[in-house]
Amino acid sequence: MDVHDILEKTVTGLGYELVDIERSPRGRVLRVFIDKPERPRGVDVEDCALVSNQLSRVLAVEEVDYDRLEVSSPGLDRLLKKVSDFERFAGSEITLKLRLPSSGRRNFSGTLCGVSDGKVRLRTDAGDMEVELGNIDRARLVPRFETMKSGGKPV
């Protein structure tokens, strides 16, 4: 099994979603990003510790060579990679960077309208557009911070 398969099987077996994996240039640091989709607030420190402990054991048994393992949440500006990500976060503000330009541009931002037939639909200030999933170099959520009034209600 390759490292991705080991991580995917272990993380999903614990009831979490494997969001992303990063390896440092020399492969010495292994970063694993996890989420718990059914939990609105995502994962916490205890979740990361649980997954980290289990992965440490599994990676030792599988003789995967690394120096440091880091397990964390994907953050507020999480990457969108899978079709299920684009479906789950429909209605959210995102930024897109394309591999090949569209209308002379590679960077776009707007409201994610979903995905169908291999195309991501995005509503921008300039109008609606569709982008082939294969042409997306990077897609991220734009964090939303609600300002609270003195009465404790969002503005």
At residue 38, the pLDDT reads 85
Mean local confidence (pLDDT), 28-40: 90
The candidate with the shortest Cα–Cα distance to 141, out of 49, 55, 76, 83, is: 76
Is the predicted pLDDT of residue 152 greater than 60, yes or no? no
Report the relative pairing of strands 119-124 and 127-132 from DSSP bridges.
Answer: antiparallel
Q: Is residue 36 within 8 Å of residue 84, measured between CB atoms?
A: no
Q: What phi, psi does 94 have (nearest 5°)?
A: -135, 165
pLDDT tier for residue 149 given thresholds of 50, 70 and 90 = low
Integer Cα distance of 112 and 93 in angstroms: 6
At residue 154, the pLDDT reads 59
* pTM assigned to the model: 0.79
Higher pLDDT, 46 or 102: 46
Percent of the chain topping pLDDT 90: 77
> What are the tens digits of pLDDT across the range 39-67?
878 899 999 999 999 999 999 999 998 99
Q: Is residue 95 within 8 Å of residue 128, measured between CB atoms?
A: no
- Mean of per-residue pLDDT scores for the chain: 90
Q: What phi, psi does 73 have (nearest 5°)?
A: -75, 160
At residue 39, the pLDDT reads 83
The candidate with the shortest Cα–Cα distance to 112, out of 132, 128, 134, is: 128
